[in-house]
Structure 1
Amino acid sequence: MPTVMDRQVVIERGEGAYVYTQDGQRLFDGSAALWYANVGHGRAEIAEVAAEQMRKLETYHTFGRYVNDQAQALSERLRELAPMADAKVILNAGGSDAVDVACKLARRYWQVEGAPAKKIILSRESAYHGLHAYGTSVGGLDFNREGYGTESLIPETARVSRDDIEAVEAEILRIGPENIAAFISEPIMGTGGVHPPAPGYLEGLQRLAAEHDFLLIADEVITGFGRTGQMFASQRYNLSPDIVTMAKGITSGYAPLGGILVAPRVWEPFFTRGAESPVYRHGTTYSGHATSCAVAMKNLDILEAEHLVQRAKELETVLAEATTVLEGHALVKDIRVGGFLAGIELDPAISGEALADTLIERGFIFRPLPGNNLQMSPPFVTTDSEVHTAVKAIKDALDTAA
C-alpha cells in the first residue's frame, strides 16, 4: 500500500477504448480495465437501460419462490448461449462469487451422490480464480495464499502442472480419484501470465475427468463473452464442462454481475427427486440483481448487433501480426497470443511494473502480471491501427530501456 498511495492514477471518465484521468490525460485502455470492458467505455445506451430499470424496479431478491423478471430473462438467454445443453443458471455479483459457488456445488454434488470422500478441488500452477476463500485456496499463485495461517484457507485443494497432462494424471493417481471432486481450469490462463493451453492439455483434462469421475469446471470469468472469438472459450476448445464460471464480459463492467452455468448431470439431483430432492443452500443478497441483469441483456444486444465476438476473432489475427515486431527484442523472452489477448514475457533486465509505469506516461495502460509479463487485452471496439500503435508504444519503450 505505501508504494501506490502517492502515485495513484485517478480515472474520471471513459469513451470507447480510452479512459481519461482526473488531470485530463487520455489513456488507451490496453487491458480493458481488469479484462472486462469488452464493448468499450461510456456507452450511453447501457446507462439508459440501467436508469429505466431502476425507475421501474431497482431489484428484488431471488430467494425461495421469488424471482425478478430481468434475472429470469437473462437466465433464459444464457441457457441459449451456454457451451452445454440444457444448462441451469446461478447468478451472483462477480467472478470470485462464481468460483465460490462452483466449488461449493461440486462438493455438495458428491455428497448427494453418495461419495462424501470426493472433496478435493484440483487447479493448475499459476492459475488465478479470484480472491474469495475458495478462489484464494485453489489459486496457483502462491503469494495470494500466503499470510492466512495455513497454505490454503480451504485445505481440500491441490495444485498440479500447468502444461504437462502426464504429470497431472500422475498426481491424480497419487491423491486418489476417489478423493477428487473437481478440476477447475481457465481455458486460457489470464492473470497467471496469459498462457494458451499446451497442445492436448484441455483434451487431456476432459479425458481424465471422464476416466476418474470428477467434475470439470471451466473458469471463463475472463474468456467468456467473446474474448477468444467464441462466446465461450469452451466452444473454441471443444470442451464439455460440468460447470462454467462467468463474470466480467457479461456486463462489460457496466454493473457487477457473475454466475455459473450448470450442466444437467450436476443439477438433476436437486430438481428431479420430488420432495426427496436434496437442497443446495447458497445465495447472496444481490444474486440476480435486476438492474445488473438488464445491463447484461443490453450488453449482449450490443455484442450481437455490432458483431463484436466475430470482431474479437479478427482482432486476434491483428494482434498476432502486430506483436511480431517484438520478436527477437533483447528485452522480450516470449509472446503469447490466444484470442484477443496477449502476454508479453519480459527479460529480467526490465520489470513489467516499471515498463507499465513508463507506458502510462506515454498514454497507454498495460497491466503487469506475475512472471514479469505484460497483459494486452483491449476492448473489442479497438481499431486495427490502434492495436499496431499500442504495440509500437511497447516496442518504443523497450527500445528506450535497452
Structure 2
Amino acid sequence: MTSIDRSGAAAETRLWHPFSDMSVVRRSEFVLTRGEGVWVYDDQERRYLDGTASLWYANVGHGRAEIADAIAAQLGQLEAYSAFGDFTTRPAQELAARIAGLAPVDDARVFFTTGGGEALDSAAKIVRRYWTAKGEPERMHLIGRTGGYHGTNGYGTAIGGIEANRAGWGPLMSATSSVQWDSLAALEEEILRVGPERVAAVFAEPVIGAGGVLLPPPGYLEGVQAICQEHGILFVADEVICAFGRVGDWFASSRFGLRPDLITFAKGVTSGYLPLGGVVASGRVAEPFWEQSGNMLRHGATYSAHATCCAAGSANLDLLAENGLVSRALETEGPLLAALEPLAAHPLVKEVRGGVGLLAAVEFSAEALAAGAPVAVFEAARERGLLVRALGQGVAVSPPLTISQEELDFLGATAAEALDAVAAASVA
C-alpha cells in the first residue's frame, strides 16, 4: 500500500526504480512483503501467482529455508572477502568448481560478477583482451542480434538489439553491430563486411528473453557456432536467463548441443536469493592469462566471488539437483504452452510462443499494441492475482520451476480473463 503523508496525500518515494516511469511510480508503488513457492503477497495480504519468477530468476520458488539457512551460516563465519590477488574463500572455490563441471565448455574457468549486466561486460572485455594477448589487437568488433538483451552496462547496451534501450545515451561503444536474430546469412554477411580478422566475438541468447521470447529456428544456434569456428571468432552464449533449469538443463547450450567459448550466467544461479553472476570461459580463452606470467586481466568488481552469495548459489544448486528441477522445464514446457495456446484465437493476440523451456510470450496485434495492450494486460492480470511481464510487443511468462499443473491452469485462465477485460474496455 502506498504510504500517506500528514496532509493526506500519497507520500513520494525516495526510491528511483529501474526501467520505470517515475512520474507515475513516484506516489504509487506496489509493495510486496513475502513469498511462498510460486506465490507472492503484497502489503494488504493479497496473493499473486508469480508468473515471471520475478525477473526470470526465482527458479526454485520463494521462501526456501535451505538457502536462507546457508546464507545465515556463512554470515556467521565470514560474510565476504575480496578475491583480488590470491585471496579467496571456500564457498567461492566450491561454487566455481561446481559450475565449471556443469558447463558445456572445454576446460572451464569461472569469473564471478554481481549480476548479469556485469557478466556481459566482463565477457566483452575478456574477449577483446584475449585477442590483444594473442597478438591480434585488431579483433575488437562485437556482434549481437536484433531483439537481444545483454544488460544495461556499456558493452551490453552497445551490442543489445532492443532499440529503445539503446536510444538517448549518445555515442555507445564503438566496433559493435547487430544482425537479424534468426538469419545465418545476415551473420555471415556482417562478418564479411567487417572483416573476419576484425571480429572478436558473436553474442547470442539461446532463447531471446526480454526481446520477446524468440525461439531459435532449428539448426540456427549450431549454425552460429559453425560460422564462428570457420572464421576463428569466439562464440559467447548469453545464458543469464536460460541457465540453471530454465530450458530443461543446467545450461541451454547443453540442450542445443553447443560448446561455446564463453557463457554468461546470473539469475538462476542463486534463484535471486542474493545477487550473483559470472562468466564461464574455456581453457582456450583462459590460456594467455593463466599461462603467461604478468598478463593480468585488470578487471573485476569489489564483490566478485562474494562468499555469502556463493554459499547461496551452492545451496540453490543443491535444490535444483536434489528436487529434479533442472529437468522439470522439459516436463512443464508443453503444459505451459498448452495453457496459453487458446489465447492465440483472441482478437488482441497475434501469436503465442513457447515450447522450449518454462517461458512463453503472447504477442499482440498491431492494433492492440497501438492501444497500449502490453501495459493494460499486465495491469488487468495483476488485478486478478497474476503477475506477467510487459514487453514491447506483448507479455511474457516464466514462472518458478516448481509450478504445478493447477497453477499453470490458473495462469492460463487468468491471462485469458485479463485479455477479455482489456478488450471490453477498449470498446466501452
CA distances 1:68-107 after superposition (whole Å, capped 9, x unpaired):
1110011111111111132001011010110011000000
In structure 2, the partner of 1:209 is 228
Identity %: 45
1:287 maps to which of 304, 313, 317: 304
2:359 maps to which of 334, 337, 341: 341
Q: Give the drift of 1:45.
A: 1.8
2:127 maps to which of 82, 85, 106: 106
Is the 8 Å Cα contact of residues 105 and 262 (structure 2) preserved in structure 1?
A: no
Q: Does 1:92 align with 2:109?
A: no
In structure 2, the partner of 1:320 is 337
2:420 maps to which of 391, 399, 402: 399
Give distance in 1, aligned partners of 2:218 and 2:190: 19
Is the 8 Å Cα contact of residues 147 and 161 (structure 2) preserved in structure 1?
A: yes
Q: Give the drift of 1:3.
A: 2.4
Q: Does 1:133 align with 2:151?
A: no
Q: Point out the more displaced range, 134-143 or 101-110.
A: 134-143
CA distances 1:367-399 after superposition (whole Å, capped 9, x unpaired):
1012x2211100011101111111111112222
2:324 maps to which of 295, 304, 307: 307
Q: Give the drift of 1:62.
A: 0.6
1:157 maps to which of 170, 176, 184: 176
Secondary structure at the residue paired with 1:308? Answer: coil
In structure 2, the partner of 1:168 is 187
In structure 2, the partner of 1:185 is 204
Q: Does 1:229 align with 2:248?
A: yes
In structure 2, the partner of 1:384 is 405
In structure 1, the partner of 2:12 is none
Q: Give the drift of 1:23.
A: 1.9
Pairwise CA RMSD of aligned residues? Answer: 1.1
Which amino acid in 1 is paired with 2:29? Q
Q: Point out the more displaced range, 250-259 or 164-173.
A: 164-173
Q: Give the drift of 1:50.
A: 0.6
In structure 1, the partner of 2:141 is 120
In structure 2, the partner of 1:266 is 285
Give distance in 2, aligned partners of 1:356 and 1:339: 22
Secondary structure at the residue paired with 1:104? Answer: helix
In structure 2, the partner of 1:14 is 35
CA distances 1:300-335 after superposition (whole Å, capped 9, x unpaired):
000111101122211112112222222322211111
Give distance in 2, aligned partners of 1:227 and 1:88: 22
TM-score (norm 2): 0.91
Residue correspondences, number: 397
Give distance in 2, aligned partners of 1:281 and 1:21: 44
Give distance in 2, aligned partners of 1:400 and 1:130: 33
Q: Point out the more displaced range, 327-336 or 184-193.
A: 327-336
Secondary structure at the residue paired with 1:131? Answer: coil
TM-score (norm 1): 0.97
CA distances 1:327-347 after superposition (whole Å, capped 9, x unpaired):
322211111112100011012
In structure 1, the partner of 2:59 is 38
Which amino acid in 2 is paired with 1:364? L
Is the 8 Å Cα contact of residues 206 and 221 (structure 2) preserved in structure 1?
A: yes
Q: Give the drift of 1:5.
A: 2.3
In structure 1, the partner of 2:95 is 74
Structure 2 residues not aligned, in runs of 5+:
1-21, 424-428
Give distance in 2, aligned partners of 1:6 and 1:391: 31
Is the 8 Å Cα contact of residues 145 and 178 (structure 2) preserved in structure 1?
A: yes
Secondary structure at the residue paired with 2:215? Answer: coil
In structure 1, the partner of 2:390 is 368
